[in-house]
Amino acid sequence: MLQQLVNGLILGSVYALIALGYTMVYGIIKLINFAHGDLYMMGAFIGYYLINSFHLNFFIALILTMVLTACLGVLIEFLAYRPLRNSTKIAALITAIGVSFFLEYGMVYLFGANTRAFPQALETVKYNLGPISVTNVQLTILSVSIFLMVALQFIVQKTKMGKAMRAVSVDSDAAQLMGINVNSTISFTFALGSALAGAAGVLIGLYYNSVEPLMGMAPGIKAFVAAVLGGIGIIPGAALGGFIIGLLETLAITVGLSSYRDAVVYGILILILLVRPAGILGKNVKEKV
């Protein structure tokens, strides 16, 4: 059980990174960006080519991947979402689904649908700590994920742009009247979320040793579930939800329900939301008519 707990925390840390992008975008412009899981896939492919073709060090490839996926996220926001910012929510949602399919099948067309082996950029070393066995790859994934989460929290709470993000999330019109550039703030939010998704793609490629163009679909949905579970729009809630989803999925495999692990995760999500509709850390807000 201790071993599965460790495995669940490592898997959950990746879900948490993806969920943070969902929750930040929703918190700023109230958009569920269903293309976010495919940015995770793009990150995995970018990392694959940087390591495999250019033989870069893993951590340098990770940083470059975050930069490139951040640029891609800003480009998607500028071309697909910004023109629809004042339109109906359903139009923006359909556009997000369209962007998701465009990225997925664009990659299938360009690179084929075959699964590729992710290069082992780190030599695997196993550590036995009593009943628990972990590798340096697992420790790297967990430590990088936690570092990025702490860095994100610092940016949001302590920097000028973080204050602007919080102001826009509360009232974008009032923030604009106070001199905040709303477009730049939203673009920065997309850049941050996309960078985290790209990092998650590289980490999971290293963990599972495989990448393919449709790999972002299931983790993307699970990360969205994690964001809802923790409280959509709340950054610590998204991180908590990601760890919970990872633990639930791993524990379902432990008790012999590997074929039904997704059903177990979604079933427990429904039970929790019946008790706390706003999520674990969310607050019910009454809106005046």
pLDDT at 66: 97
CB neighbours of residue 180 within 10 Å: 18
Asked if 49 and 205 count as a contact pair (C-beta separation under 8 A), the reply is no
Tokens of 235: 């950054």
CB neighbours of residue 32 within 10 Å: 17
pLDDT at 69: 97
pLDDT at 276: 86
- The DSSP symbol for 116 reads B
pLDDT at 115: 93
Asked if 167 and 27 count as a contact pair (C-beta separation under 8 A), the reply is no
- The DSSP symbol for 209 reads S
Asked if 66 and 199 count as a contact pair (C-beta separation under 8 A), the reply is yes
> pTM for this structure?
0.93
pLDDT at 260: 85
Which segments in the chain show pLDDT lower than 70? 284-289
pLDDT at 254: 84
- Digit-coded pLDDT (tens) for 36-91: 999 999 999 999 999 999 999 999 999 999 999 999 999 999 999 999 988 888 99
